[in-house]
Amino acid sequence: MTKNIKIDPVTRIEGHARVEVDLDGDQVSRSVLKVLDFRGFEAFLTGMQVEMMPTVTSRICGT
């Protein structure tokens, strides 16, 4: 038996998002996070060393 769980809206984030999870018995067969807003941060993180990303992204929200 397949069961579909949707959490919409996801709170505690900036913008709009939802989570969809498909369960096949006790196992997760598919999980998807859909974020509907584009903020553009991915563009300047492309090609950056992975070790530097937390330093840069932590400053995006002013922390």
Residue 19 pLDDT = 95
Whether the pLDDT of residue 9 is over 70: the answer is yes
Q: How far is CA 20 from CA 5, 24, 47, 52, in A?
A: 6, 13, 30, 31
Q: Are 6 and 20 in contact (CB under 8 A)?
A: yes
Task: Select the more confidently predicted residue: 2 or 4.
Answer: 4
* pTM, entire model: 0.55
Residue 44 pLDDT = 81
For 18-62, how does the pLDDT look when each residue is reduced to its tens digit (9 = 90+)?
999 999 999 999 999 998 777 777 788 888 899 988 888 887 766
